[in-house]
Amino acid sequence: MSYCLNPHCQKPQNPRKNSFCQNCGAKLTLKDRYLAQKLIAQGGFGRTFLALDLDIPSQPPCVIKQFLPDILNPSEIDKAKQLFDQEAHQLDKLGEHPQIPKLLAHVEQEKHLYLIQEFIDGQNLAAELAQNGPFSETEIKQILESLLPVLEFIHNHNVIHRDIKPENIIRRKSDHQLVLVDFGAAKLATKTLLAKTGTIIGTPGYTAPEQALGKPTFASDIYSLGVTCLHLLTQIDTLELFDPNENDWVWQHYLTTPISPQLQHILNKMIAMALKKRYQHPQEVLKDLTLVKLPLTKATKPATPIPSILPRLVEIDQKYGYINPEGKLIIGLEFDKATHFTDSGLAAVKIGRQWGFINHEGKLQIPPQFDSVGNFSEGLASFKQSKWYLLQSKWGYINTYGEIVINPEFNDVYDFKEGLAAIRLGMSWGYIDQQGNIVIEPQFDEVSSFAEGFAKVKINNKWGYIDKIGKVVIPPRDNGRNFSSGLAAVKINQLWGYINTEGNIVIQPQYLDALDFFEGLAPVKMETKFLGLLITGEKWGYINTSGTVAIEPQFDWAYGFSEGLAAVKKNNLWGYINKLGQIIVEPRFDFAAHFVNGIAEVVLGGQCRYINKRGKLIY
């Protein structure tokens, strides 16, 4: 179907094939290109249509905004047209922002003025509220952090939106970014038109007092965004959140879950009735938001039980999804980057330029909003998020509900291990606890995560080990690896051996290389000899915790055991052995990783594939 743009047409619906309206005879397309399909909004100044762009083979959707100057006299119409052209140029500049719809065209046709804008495919926040119920404090903070820079952008272009509300904020389906819409014909209204209609631009309940008097300021948009947050937090009509008898807001009475005093203060300052008491610029709000430290709280929405076997990551044609143990694709190839699931039941996924997290069902638990993330470990994941008002990006930590529990203030970070995480301030590394407190002052050039109570640190170009209060308990040596099974590989005078937790050498340095113990065995690299005399090469084998050779050196490369099997390289191909050294999966792969839940990732013919423990390709 197509829809007639003539506002006086009594029967505007037409068959798609028609070029002219079968009722009034009006032309159905704009510029012989844009075809309206249905009316989606109507107000005092114009109408909005969902349309198609017929010039592009796929005929993508777009939006037509029609400005109706019918009640103006000829001189006023000429002025309106002039302002229309000026506003169209302004909207074209605003469309350069990724969170504002692009202006595709502006048209005058049959005495009406039109804007054609990009269609944003997604769900608005009013629909999200109706579907999911009140928003959490974390979600409100994310909304503010996403939209305040947009307000800053439009205000720098001397534009006041004047109609911010949940219906005009769309979460774009492609990247889950929030998009501010309705920079449309209403903003083109002249003072003459406003006087004739007696209409104030804006929506009752969201409009700032000064805007209701016809004197909007940039702070009016901040007010409307603040009221929007109140409605999303409470799911109560905004007019009910204000007590006219007290001339004050009573929105806190309607909260179903408490929010932090810091965020309450910010929202109250955003919605202050007196203009002088309100935030004047978006950056003021953003600065205060950095001080909001959300506590570790339980989820506001019930978590789905985590299964014992989680989906496994796959990559095909540079897109990522997840399979089950039988190799069936259960989470579609819809991500630009992704990581494996962790014990938290979450996996990091990248959509467009930003990272978020999905649960094992493939549903977004934490919407994409970060420039980079780490994996969840011990209930927390690191995140990196650029802020326009900071000189550089910093790292912090979130919990599994997306709540910021450690504010971003570090130059670099590691995942939490044994209750501590390595962090870098400036050029030096130290450690913090899960409350963000520095427990080991930054003082090391390089560090590793804690393992079995010890962390490897670099001191004067040598590696030693510290305990959890930062005391050097094992003196530095040439190099070292993490502790596992009570032992750590160390390098002394170019050869590798193993020490115990007291720092005593228990397996003498004799190996060319040595890795960590897994499942009681460690891969080591040795010189191989014939009849004890002739050196024939360097091969990898395995030793036990006593230093006895358990699997003779015979491999070009070897990894640790996982689920009873270890990946080994022989004759430039990878396969798998058991703990007796028997080949279980014949070497035929370009690369092989360890097994997780009975599945291992391999590279075959340049492509990532997946096998079971019998070596059968399952995907």
Contact in structure between 24 and 160 (CB atoms under 8 Å): no
Higher-pLDDT residue of 243, 562 = 562
Kindly provide the b/e burial profile for residues 158-183, where b requires at least 16 CB atoms within 10 angstroms of the residue's own CB.
Answer: ebbbbbbbbbbbbbbeebbbbbbbbb
For 155-187, the three-class secondary structure string (H helix, E strand, C coil) is HHCCCCCCCCCHHHEEEECCCCCEEECCCCHHH
Please report which residue ranges of 253-296 form alpha helices under DSSP H.
Answer: 261-270, 282-289
Residue 201 pLDDT > 90: no
Contact in structure between 431 and 455 (CB atoms under 8 Å): yes
Residue 426, CA distances (Å) to 121, 374, 394, 411 in order:
42, 20, 11, 7
Model confidence band, residue 575 (pLDDT cutoffs 50, 70, 90)? very high
Residue 47 pLDDT > 50: yes
Query: Chain centroid to CA 205: how far?
Result: 32
DSSP state letter for 161? -
Query: Chain centroid to CA 332: how far?
Result: 18
Contact in structure between 492 and 486 (CB atoms under 8 Å): no
Residue 302 pLDDT > 50: no
DSSP state letter for 68? -
pLDDT at 531: 55
CB neighbour list of residue 153: distance below 8 Å, 6 or more residues apart: 94, 97, 100
3-state secondary structure of 137: helix
Residue 405 φ then ψ, to 5°: -110, -20
pLDDT at 61: 95
pLDDT at 292: 79
DSSP state letter for 10? S
Residue 197 pLDDT > 80: no
Residue 534 pLDDT > 80: no
CB atoms within 10 A of CB 501: 16
The secondary structure element, H or E, covering residue 608 is: strand 607-611
pTM: 0.62
Least confident stretch, 87-96, 274-283, 503-512, 533-542? 533-542
DSSP state letter for 421? E
Report how many helices (DSSP H) and strands (DSSP E) the chain contains, helices first. 8, 46
Model confidence band, residue 308 (pLDDT cutoffs 50, 70, 90)? confident
Contact in structure between 114 and 66 (CB atoms under 8 Å): yes
Residue 128 pLDDT > 60: yes
Q: What percent of the chain has pLDDT over 70?
A: 90
67/203 Cα distance (integer angstroms): 18
CB neighbour list of residue 458: distance below 8 Å, 6 or more residues apart: 444, 445, 446, 447, 476
pLDDT at 350: 95
Model confidence band, residue 76 (pLDDT cutoffs 50, 70, 90)? low
Model confidence band, residue 296 (pLDDT cutoffs 50, 70, 90)? very low
Q: Which two tokens stand for residue 617?
A: 């390709």
Contact in structure between 424 and 392 (CB atoms under 8 Å): no
3-state secondary structure of 288: helix
Residue 585, CA distances (Å) to 313, 327, 517, 612 in order:
21, 18, 22, 10
Higher-pLDDT residue of 77, 133 = 133
What value does the mean pLDDT take over residues 33-45?
Answer: 85
pLDDT at 46: 77
Model confidence band, residue 86 (pLDDT cutoffs 50, 70, 90)? confident
Residue 209 pLDDT > 90: yes
pLDDT at 607: 86
Residue 111 pLDDT > 60: yes
The secondary structure element, H or E, covering residue 79 is: helix 74-94
Q: What mean pLDDT value characterizes the chain?
A: 89
438/487 Cα distance (integer angstroms): 28
Domains of the chain: 2-118 (3.30.200.20), 122-289 (1.10.510.10)
Contact in structure between 201 and 161 (CB atoms under 8 Å): no
Q: Which residues pair with 267 in a beta bridge?
A: none
525/519 Cα distance (integer angstroms): 18
Amino acid identity for residue 43 in this structure: G
Model confidence band, residue 318 (pLDDT cutoffs 50, 70, 90)? confident
Residue 297 pLDDT > 60: no
Model confidence band, residue 245 (pLDDT cutoffs 50, 70, 90)? confident
Higher-pLDDT residue of 97, 193 = 97
CB neighbour list of residue 89: distance below 8 Å, 6 or more residues apart: none
**Opening angle at CA 161, ends 158 and 167, nearest 5:** 160
3-state secondary structure of 242: strand
CB neighbour list of residue 111: distance below 8 Å, 6 or more residues apart: none
462/474 Cα distance (integer angstroms): 12
Contact in structure between 159 and 183 (CB atoms under 8 Å): yes
Q: pLDDT tens digits for 371-391?
A: 999 999 999 999 997 754 445
pLDDT at 304: 59
What value does the mean pLDDT take over residues 268-278?
Answer: 96
Please give the positions annotated as active site. 163
Residue 293 pLDDT > 70: no
Q: Of 369, 364, 363, 431, nearest to 398 (Cα)?
A: 369
Model confidence band, residue 186 (pLDDT cutoffs 50, 70, 90)? very low
Residue 191 pLDDT > 50: no
Q: Across 545-590, where does the E strand assignment appear?
A: 549-555, 557-558, 566-570, 573-577, 583-589
Model confidence band, residue 68 (pLDDT cutoffs 50, 70, 90)? low
Query: Helix 125-132 vs helix 218-234: angle between axes, to the nearest 10 degrees?
Result: 20
Q: Which residues pair with 492 in a beta bridge?
A: 495
Least confident stretch, 77-81, 93-97, 423-427? 77-81
323/357 Cα distance (integer angstroms): 17
What value does the mean pLDDT take over residues 484-496?
Answer: 96
What value does the mean pLDDT take over residues 589-609?
Answer: 91
430/443 Cα distance (integer angstroms): 6
The secondary structure element, H or E, covering residue 232 is: helix 218-234
Q: pLDDT tens digits for 416-466?
A: 999 999 999 999 999 999 989 999 999 999 999 999 999 999 988 999 999
479/303 Cα distance (integer angstroms): 44
CB neighbour list of residue 363: distance below 8 Å, 6 or more residues apart: none
Q: Of 21, 63, 26, nearest to 41 (Cα)?
A: 63
pLDDT at 67: 82
DSSP state letter for 315? E
